[in-house]
Amino acid sequence: MRTYDAIIIGSGQGGNPLAQKLADLDWNVALIEREHLGGSCVNYGCTPTKTMIASARAAHVARRAPRLGVQTGEVEVHLREIVARKNEIVQQWRENQQEKAAERPTLDLYRDHGRFSGPQTVEVNGRTLQSKHIFIDTGTRARIPDISGIQGVPYLTNRTVMDLEKVPDHLIILGGSYIGLEFGQMFRRFGSRVTVIDHNERVVSREDPEVSEAVQEALQDEGIRFYLNHTIRAASPTDAGVELTLSDDEVLTGTHLLVAAGRVPNTDDLGLEAAGVDTDERGFINVNDRLETNVPGIWAIGDVKGGPAFTHISFDDHLIIFDNLIHGKKRSIEGRVVPYALFTDPELGRVGMTETQARAAGYRLKTGSIPMSRVARAIERDETAGLMKVVIDADTDRILGAAVLGTEGGELVQMLMTLMLADAPWTVLKRAVYIHPTLAEGFFALLEDVQLVE
């Protein structure tokens, strides 16, 4: 049996930096990873998808260039070259993570599957490792719905769809949220016909209705077809690809099927029962506001614990644990301001509550909302799809949440997040001087539109 100061299962965007920081303090650390270092973000999420989205946007801009008086000729998409570029960038990040692990003499990397055999022991590659500090960062995987015949269909997931080297003729996507919409627009811009199926009445259904509708309208304008308030009853393979029978008995045929219908945690093969770690009904690990499980000495980081499933949340999780464990602080995830983005075009930047959530929480509200067509820079760039919206506590004048659906929406919304972090009133920005012409200048009109909601 080998004893360590810390064992970290999973090398995602929380596990990796935590392992490195503890090793830098001369802790003996065991980092267990059965696949590639870097977790979903580096290997199957942020890095590869945004790399390919950049190629899709380049094709889109080239096709639209004549609107701006620029003639480009016929646009050709070479998916094999796009995938090769994506793989090269991913490999660079993998090697970077490998180098960081190798340069720390007190960090041992175990390339295999780790499984609890007790509350302080983990079995890996036939060896037993022991520690009083164990951190779980094993992430999630695609949820495959219980659809008749689905296992007989060569469906794709977010991992495998990025390995295609030929543009699908007709890509059908099950799921109208972040993963489904980003891939849908990407492949539409590569040249595929794209159909999105979702059981909800709106895409990105957790957002306010006007935001969801604006996202859908922008994607429909590019030719994406939507079947909302629909489910798939049955799936079967065909010579050309796949045949799907919908809940209303309509039959759809496509060449490829991408399943993007939610995520499940990678906890079913961790031996959590041997450690006594509690999970919820979906398998996500239960944690308190300091990311501790019900078992002393075991923590959970990132997507595996449920809640906001974003790389930056996983990274912040490790900072909270490190500050509490090493510096004796009492940091908590309670009240954490969470920004996030949907990387479609227009891009949706979001932070805090939606208006719907704020109403449900009982706040008295002020709101402001303007279309991007009122922003001079957006007009000049011919990128006027989308809107800006802010939700304010009428009793304190503090921003509760905001949405910016537009060019660079993810960048812009973080300006409003800064006010939230500073606990400053929204009026600080109301009469600010903005550079003209910039996208941020749109906040002037947005905040002029703020009024009490009856």
Q: What is the pLDDT of residues 175-190, one digit of tens each?
A: 999 999 999 999 999 9
* Residue 92 backbone zone (phi > 0: left; psi -120 to 50: alpha; other: beta): alpha
How many residues can be counted in the chain? 454
pLDDT of residue 166 exceeding 90, the answer is: yes
Burial class (CB in 10 A: 0-12, 13-18, 19+), 205: middle
d(CA 57, CA 287): 40
pLDDT of residue 303 exceeding 90, the answer is: yes
Mean pLDDT of 69-98: 96
Question: What is the full DSSP assignment across 22-77?
Answer: HHHTT--EEEE-SS-TTHHHHHTSHHHHHHHHHHHHHHHHHHHGGGGT--------
Contact by Cβ (8 Å): 283, 97:
no
d(CA 403, CA 383): 17
What is the pLDDT, as a whole number, of residue 206?
A: 95
Q: Do domains 2-140+264-327 and 339-452 have the same CATH topology?
A: no
Q: Which amino acid is located at 78 in the chain? A: H
Q: Respond yes or no: is residue 436 known to be catalytic.
A: yes
Residue-wise pLDDT tens digits, 22-81: 999 999 999 999 999 999 999 999 999 999 999 999 999 999 999 999 999 999 999 999
Residue-wise pLDDT tens digits, 382-396: 999 999 999 999 999
d(CA 222, CA 194): 10
Q: What separation in angstroms does the CA of 293 have from each of 54, 86, 191, 288, 440?
A: 39, 37, 47, 7, 42
Instruction: Kindly name the residue from 113, 199, 312, 436 that is annotated as catalytic.
Output: 436
Query: In CATH, what is the architecture of 339-452?
Result: 2-Layer Sandwich (3.30)
d(CA 164, CA 175): 19
Across all residues in the chain, what is the average pLDDT? Answer: 97
Per DSSP, the three-state class of 114 is: strand
Indicate the pairing of strand 134-136 with strand 6-9. Answer: parallel
For the chain, the C-alpha Rg in angstroms (whole number) is 24
For residue 437, say if its preceding peptide bond is cis, omega within 30 degrees of 0. yes
Contact by Cβ (8 Å): 94, 107:
no
pLDDT of residue 431 exceeding 90, the answer is: no
What is the pLDDT, as a whole number, of residue 322?
A: 98
- Domain 150-261 falls in which CATH fold? FAD/NAD(P)-binding domain (3.50.50)
Question: What is the full DSSP assignment across 412-445?
Answer: HHHHHHHHHHHT-BTHHHHT----TT-GGGHHHH
Residue-wise pLDDT tens digits, 262-272: 999 999 999 99
**3.50.50.60, 3.40.50.150, 3.60.20.10, 1.20.120.520: CATH of 2-140+264-327:** 3.50.50.60
Ranges of each domain in the chain: 2-140+264-327, 150-261, 339-452
Strands of 279-431 (E only): list them.
Answer: 298-300, 339-342, 347-352, 365-371, 387-393, 399-406
